[in-house]
Amino acid sequence: MTSGPARLLRDMVRIRVVEETLADHYRDEQEMRTPTHFSIGQEATAVGVCAATRPGDWVYTAHRSHAPYLAKGGDLTAMVAELYGRQSGCAHGRGGSIHLVDRTAGFAGSAAILGEMIPVAVGTAWAFARQGGSRVAVTFFGDGATEEGVFAESLNLAAVRRAPVVFVCENNLYSISSPLAARQPAGPTIRDRAEAAGVTAVQVDGNDVFAVHDAALTALRHCRDGGGPYLLELATYRWREHVGPGHDHGHGQGYRPVEETEAWIARCPIARAADALRERDPGIDRTVADWRERCREEIRDAVAHARQQPFPDVEALLDGAYQPVPR
């Protein structure tokens, strides 16, 4: 069994292989009729945080949801079927890539509206606190979501109620194509804004899975011990375009300099983790290669399974959309 640091690396490799394979299918087949937001390059944030959670903790995300879903233990076969719009998908083919859910794994849900799941996580955390116990809610979002009013409102309520919620900001510097420097005044950071609201907050290198994991353990322990909310600002970078399987630097769009992207790719979280483990495990590269092959087989099987599944019946498309009302 793989455990500890090697498990963190293995889980990042799995997410990378799954997403690269899905991106190829998405581009070449045009069968997945859903917007997709890949996390390739950002695997350390999802793995480092989710590995610090317990089964009873709930995780919410925004639209970039595949990595946290898999890192929390979500069912890969159900996720792939969802992207293909099949009835056996985790949202029965109604939600697609941006509406994943697997509550048996503690992945409570994802949504596309910017900042939408931040207050939901705060409400869940408040409920956990009122019920007693030590469960924690975790919510992932990007730096763009911190400019929504609901972010400030959620920080305030969580601080006032000392809700056990971990805010995880994956700061990848861009809100679609708008750079952070063009949107925010120089000086205060996202961490600073959280601290101003009374929320304990830290900045962490989001491409260092071990640093992220250590910080997440501290944050979750802080929440379980009644310390109130905690914010992790994780510096990271997506390698692909905002939505879709392509690359958007140096191909006419021009909002991300090639040099900037290449500098972040050189900080690949998987390569860095492997480098860190090589001294204690000289065979780590062979191990990573074996993991990649196993993961390729796993995702090939999941795609083949999904394509054999039926689509939802047209007559049943509204099933689950409304709560039945007794008449």
pLDDT tens-digit map of 29-72: 999 999 999 999 999 999 999 999 999 999 999 999 999 999 99
pLDDT tens-digit map of 189-228: 999 999 999 999 999 999 999 999 999 999 999 999 999 9
Residue among 303, 168, 313, 305 nearest 236 (CA): 168
Mean pLDDT of all residues belonging to the chain? 95
Contact criterion met (CB below 8 Å) for 267 and 238: no
Domain ranges (residues) in the chain: 38-75+96-280
Quick one: pLDDT band at residue 250, thresholds 50, 70, 90?
Answer: low
Q: Is 259 helix (H, G, I), strand (E, B) or coil?
A: helix
Residue positions counted in the chain: 327
For domain 38-75+96-280, give the fold.
Answer: Rossmann fold (3.40.50)
pTM for the predicted model, two decimal places: 0.95
What is the rounded end-to-end Cα distance, in angstroms, of the chain? 54
Contact criterion met (CB below 8 Å) for 40 and 240: yes
Task: Write the secondary structure of 205-249 as one string of H (helix), E (strand) and C (coil).
Answer: ECCCHHHHHHHHHHHHHHHHCCCCCEEEEEECCCCCCCCCCCCCC
Among all chains, which residue has been given the structure tokens 């692909």? 240
Quick one: pLDDT band at residue 252, thresholds 50, 70, 90?
Answer: low
